[in-house]
Structure 1
Amino acid sequence: MVKHYVGSEVGQLRSVLLHYDSLAFERLTPSNCHELLFDDVLSVTKAAEEHRNFADILKLQGVNVLYLNKLLSETLAVPEARKWLFDSQLSDYRLGASLALSIKSWLNELPNDVIAKYLTGGLAYKEIPDEYFKPLFDSYDWEHFILKPLPNHLFTRDTSCWIYNGVSINPMAKAVRRRESNNLKAIYRWHPLFANQNFNYYLGNENVNYDNSTIEGGDVLVIGRGAVLIGLSERTSPEGIEALARSLFATGQATKVVVLELPKDRACMHLDTVLTQLDINVFSVYPAVINEHTRCWTLTQGYDHRLQIAEEANYKEAIQKALELNDMKVITTGGDIYGQEREQWNDANNVLTIRPGVVIGYECNILTNEKYAEAGIEVLSFAGEQLGRGRGGARCMSCPIERDGI
C-alpha cells in the first residue's frame, strides 16, 4: 500500500506517478504544438523509448512506479467517478446538450482503458461513429478535437503535488492544461489507492473558481523539516502562493514557506528548471536566474490566522535558516555563459533526486553532469533528446507520492 506522504526533495523516493501517452504525441503537429505548449513535435517512438528508460532506472532503484492512464482506467470502473469525469470533460456547455448526450452514450459502451486514452490523448470529431454524432447544428470541422490532446500530462509534477501529508490539485495557469486537473481529481477521489485514505487536500478538491490563484507543481519544492520552497513565476501567481500557504498552515503540514521570485520567462517557467535539491545541504542552480539578486521572502503563520511575511537578504540564507543548516553547497550549471544557457534549456538543473546524493537527469547535459560528479553526486543518466522538447526533465516528469523526510 502506498503511503501518501512526501517529506522532502531528497529522502528515499518510494513511489512516483509517471505518464506517457503515444496518442497525445501522435496528435502533436507543427500547427498545434505551440498552442499545446511544446516548442516542436517529437519522434513518438523515440520519446516512448526514452520514457521507458527513465521508468526502468526508477524501478531498478526500488521505486514503485504508478502510471496515470492505468490509474485513470481503474478509476473509470467506479460509476460515480465515470459520471463525474464525463460531466466535467464533456459538459453540456462544452459541446451543447445534444452532442454531449450522444457522445457520452457512445463512450459508455467502450472499455475503460480506451476511454482513459481519449481523456488524455484527445478525441477528434471524426472518431465519433456516425450514429452518435448528433449535434444540434451540423457545422463542425471533423479535423478538430472534441477533447484536445494533453501532451503536458507527461509532466505529472505540475498538475498535482504532494506536500508532507497532503496533496494540492493545482489550478493551472494555462487553459490547455486545466483538464489535466480533472483527471487527477477523479483519481485521488475515487481510485482505491486514494479513496478514504488519510491525507489532506490543500487546493483543488472543491468546485471553486481559483481565478488569479494559479500554481503549478514545478514551482513547489518540499525541502523538508516543515519548510516548502515556492517559485513566484510565469505560472505561479502571488495569489496562488498565498492560497497554498494558508492551506498548508491551516492543516499544520508546514511551518514556513520560502518564496523565490523568478523572471516571467518560458526559459525558466518553473523554479525546478533553475533550482533543485540534490542532497540535504546541496542545491543545483542556474546562476543567471538564481543568484544574490534574487528576491526572496519567508511566510509564516501569524496571530489570528494572518500571514507574516519577511523579505530575506538572499535565497541561500533563507534556505539555510528554514532547514537549520550550518552550511549550504551550491553547484551551478556547467560551462561558460553560453554552455550554461544551452544546458539549462535542456533541463540540466531539472534532476530528480532518488535519495541523498543520487539523481536522475538527461545524459546530454555533459558539463553539468560532470560538475555533479565532481561534487560527489551520482548521476543516473538517460537520453532525453525527444522528451526534452517539451522543456521538462526528470523532475518535471515525476510526481512523488511517497518519499521519506530528512
Structure 2
Amino acid sequence: MNNCYVGSEIGQLHRVLIHRPGRSISHLTPSNCQDLLFDDVLSVEKAGEEHDVFADTLRGQGVEVLLLHNMLAETLDIPEAKNWLLETQISEYRFGQTFANDIRCFLADLPHLKLASMLIGGLSYADLPMKSSSMLQGINQPNDFIIKPLPNHLFTRDTSCWVYGGVSINPMAKEARQRETNHLRAIYRWHPTFAGQDFIKYFGDEVRSYDKSTIEGGDVLVIGKGTVLIGMSERTTPQGVEHLASSLFKHNQAKKIIAIELPKDRSCMHLDTVMTHMNVDTFSVYPEVVSKDVKCWSLTGDQSGRVDIKEEGYFVTAIEKALEVDKLNLITTGGDSFEAEREQWNDANNVLTVKPGVVIGYERNTYTNEKYDKAGITVLPIPGDELGRGRGGARCMSCPIERDGI
C-alpha cells in the first residue's frame, strides 16, 4: 500500500519531512554566508529551539514528522546506500583519487548519525584527524572546507517535492545546494519508509548534469484537481518545468500545469515566498509581485510525454478555471507598503496549510496574520526571529509526503 501521495496544498497533512538546523548553521560565518545563500548568520541554539516549536506544532495537528538527519543516518545503515553516497558525495573528480579514498576511509568508520552530520553539516581540513599524502591537504588552510556545509537543507521543500502519486527529486540551480539532491536520492531509494513502495520518480533521480533544466519545490504548488501551479523564478527554469510536466503527463498524474513568470530576485526566490494556497478558494499573495501583468502559460499533454504549451491571460482566471471556483479570494500582505514589504521579506506569505483554513506561520508578521484571521484563516503562530533569517517560512521548511486531495 503506497501512502506517499500529495493531492493538494490544503488537504489534511499526514506526513512531512523537515530538517532541524544544527552543524551546517554553526559553519555559517559573515564571510561565507552569502556563498551558502544565506543573508545572515543564525544563532544555532535559538534556530534549533524555534524549529522544535515548529515540529511540535505539526505534531499537535496530528502530522507525523520525519527528520531528515535521522532519515539520512538510517539510510546509511544500508551498506549499498552508504557506499553509493560516499562515492557520489566524495567523488574522485572532486578530490583526486588519493584524497577521495582517504576521506572515504575516515568517514566510513564514523557512527552513522555522526556521518550524516558531516555530510549535511560540513567537514573542514582542521576536522580531519589524519595526514594524507594528497597535495590538497598541503595547499588548503585548516578552516577551508573539504565538504562544504549544506545549511539550505533546512528548506526541505525545495530538494524534492511530491506531486500527486510521485516525487520530483529536483536538480537544484545553485552549486551550494546541488549535493542536497543526492541525500534525497539515497533516502527515496533505500530508506525502509520508501524502499519497495510503489511511487513514481518523475524527474531528477539520476546523477547527471541537468544543465538548464532546474526546478525547486518552493516553486511547485499542487493546487489539486489534477492541476499544478509552477513559478518560473530565480531557480526554476521553463526547461525544468517542461521536463517535469512531460513526466507528469506520461504517468497520467496531472491534467494541466499553469506556469507563471516571476521576477528573478532574492526577495522573490520562489513562488511560495509570494503566494500560497490556504483554503479551496483562498490564496495569500504579495501584490507587488503577483500582479495582473504576470505572464502565464498552460501546459497540457498525454501519456506519450508530449507537451502542448499555450500562453494564457490573467493567471488568476486560469487558477479559478482549474479549481472550478467562481472567484478566488486573494489575501494581500498586511500593513502599509513599508510594512507589507518587510513582512513579505520575513515570509508572511510563506505559510504551511495543515488542513483547509488552518496554517502555520511566523508570529512576527502581525499585520498579515491579522488579515488572515479576519478572512477566517486560523494562524498557528511559531517563532521565527532566527529561522526567518534564512529567508524561508513554514512552507519552505516542510516537504509534505502524505496529504489529502480536495
Give the whole-Å Cα distance in 2 for the aligned partners of 1:57 and 1:47.
15
Aligned partner of 2:153 in structure 1 is 153
Q: Is 1:134–2:133 an aligned residue pair? A: yes
- AA matched with 1:150: L
Aligned partner of 2:105 in structure 1 is 105
Give the whole-Å Cα distance in 2 for the aligned partners of 1:226 and 1:16.
21
Q: Which one is further off, 73-82 or 199-208?
A: 199-208
1:115-130 aligned at under 5 Å gives the runs 115-130=115-130
- AA matched with 2:134: P
Q: Is 1:352–2:352 an aligned residue pair? A: yes
Q: Which one is further off, 64-73 or 122-131?
A: 122-131
Give the whole-Å Cα distance in 1 for the aligned partners of 2:389 and 2:162.
26
Report how many residues are paired: 405
Give the whole-Å Cα distance in 2 for the aligned partners of 1:388 and 1:213.
29
Q: Is 1:334–2:348 an aligned residue pair? A: no
Aligned partner of 2:266 in structure 1 is 266
Give the whole-Å Cα distance in 2 for the aligned partners of 1:245 and 1:304.
12
**Runs (5+) with no aligned partner, structure 2:** none
Percent identical residues: 60
Determine helix, strand or coil for the equivalent of 2:203. Answer: coil
**TM-score after normalising by structure 2:** 0.98
Give the whole-Å Cα distance in 1 for the aligned partners of 2:100 and 2:309.
48
Give the whole-Å Cα distance in 1 for the aligned partners of 2:56 and 2:327.
35
Aligned partner of 1:297 in structure 2 is 297
- Deviation (angstroms), 1:305: 4.2
1:6-85 aligned at under 5 Å gives the runs 6-85=6-85
Task: Give per-residue Cα distances to partners, 1:27-52, cap 9 Å, x unaligned.
Answer: 10000000000000011111111100
- AA matched with 1:76: L
- AA matched with 1:86: L
Determine helix, strand or coil for the equivalent of 2:259. Answer: strand
- Deviation (angstroms), 1:302: 5.8
- Deviation (angstroms), 1:164: 0.4
- Deviation (angstroms), 1:339: 1.2
Residues 223, 277 of structure 1: 8 Å contact kept:
yes
Residues 21, 44 of structure 2: 8 Å contact kept:
no
- AA matched with 2:133: K
Aligned partner of 2:220 in structure 1 is 220
- Deviation (angstroms), 1:129: 1.2
Determine helix, strand or coil for the equivalent of 1:194. Answer: coil
Determine helix, strand or coil for the equivalent of 2:359. Answer: strand
Aligned partner of 1:386 in structure 2 is 386
**Counterparts in 2 of 1:259 and 1:381: CA distance versus 1, 3 Å:** same
Aligned partner of 2:167 in structure 1 is 167
Determine helix, strand or coil for the equivalent of 2:177. Answer: helix
Task: Give per-residue Cα distances to partners, 1:183-242, cap 9 Å, x unaligned.
Answer: 010000000111111000011112332100010000000000100000011100011011
- Deviation (angstroms), 1:134: 3.5
Aligned partner of 2:256 in structure 1 is 256
Residues 21, 47 of structure 2: 8 Å contact kept:
no
Residues 250, 303 of structure 2: 8 Å contact kept:
no
Q: Which one is further off, 243-252 or 306-315?
A: 306-315
Aligned partner of 2:316 in structure 1 is 316
Residues 21, 121 of structure 1: 8 Å contact kept:
no
Aligned partner of 2:235 in structure 1 is 235
Give the whole-Å Cα distance in 2 for the aligned partners of 1:299 and 1:361.
31
**Counterparts in 2 of 1:376 and 1:365: CA distance versus 1, 3 Å:** same
**TM-score after normalising by structure 1:** 0.98
- Deviation (angstroms), 1:106: 1.4
- Deviation (angstroms), 1:143: 1.1
